[in-house]
């Protein structure tokens, strides 16, 4: 069963820019909104809003560091998100597999 929290996680990673931000953060360890926006096609403020979304669902955490605020991935929460992805993928995969098997059975029946 899918919960509301899971939906929040999904919609957080549903946005392509947010996914790329997670990629960048995983790659660099930690970064500020300004640093991230340098590597993304959107403004620093847009990045800041996305970071707020990711923070709200717990996918990133931040701490002030001098005059900048650095964000880093919350590994446990990203693992939960990955588990969600895998779960949905596995469900659909199983269902598709079953449909194919049925289709093949019908085919054999018609041929035979």
Partner DNA sequence: GTGTTATGCAACCAAACGTTGCACGTTGAA
Partner DNA sequence: TTCAACGTGCAACGTTTGGTTGCATAACAC
Binding site for its own copies (CB under 8 A): 2, 7, 10-11, 14-16, 19-20, 22-23, 26-27, 75, 78-79, 81-82, 85-86, 88-89, 91-93, 95-96, 99-100
- Subset of 87-106 contacting DNA (CB under 7 A): none
Smallest gap, in angstroms, from Cβ of residue 100 to DNA?
26
Q: What is the C-alpha separation between 28 and 70, in angstroms, rounded?
A: 11
In this chain, which of 50, 54, 59, 73 binds DNA, going by CB under 7 A? 50
Contact between 45 and DNA by CB under 7 A: the answer reads: yes
Contact between 66 and DNA by CB under 7 A: the answer reads: yes
Contact between 43 and DNA by CB under 7 A: the answer reads: yes
Q: What is the C-alpha separation between 82 and 71, in angstroms, rounded?
A: 19
Rank residues 38 and 92 by Cβ distance to its own copies and give the closer one: 92
Q: At what angle do helices 16-28 and 44-56 cross, to 10 degrees?
A: 80
Q: What is the C-alpha separation between 43 and 38, in angstroms, rounded?
A: 8
What is the token pair recorded at 75? 């590994």
Q: Left (φ > 0), alpha (ψ -120 to 50) or beta: where does 77 sit?
A: alpha
């Amino acid at each position: 069963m899918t919960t509301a929290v899971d939906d929040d996680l999904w919609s957080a990673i549903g946005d392509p820019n947010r996914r790329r931000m997670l990629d960048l953060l995983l790659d660099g360890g930690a970064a500020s909104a300004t640093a991230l926006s340098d590597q993304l096609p959107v403004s620093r403020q847009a990045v800041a809003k996305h970071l707020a979304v990711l923070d709200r669902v717990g996918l990133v955490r931040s701490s002030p560091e001098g005059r900048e605020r650095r964000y880093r991935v919350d590994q446990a929460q990203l693992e939960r998100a990955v588990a969600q992805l895998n779960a949905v993928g596995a469900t659909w995969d199983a269902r598709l597999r079953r449909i194919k098997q049925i289709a093949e059975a019908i085919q054999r029946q018609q041929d035979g």
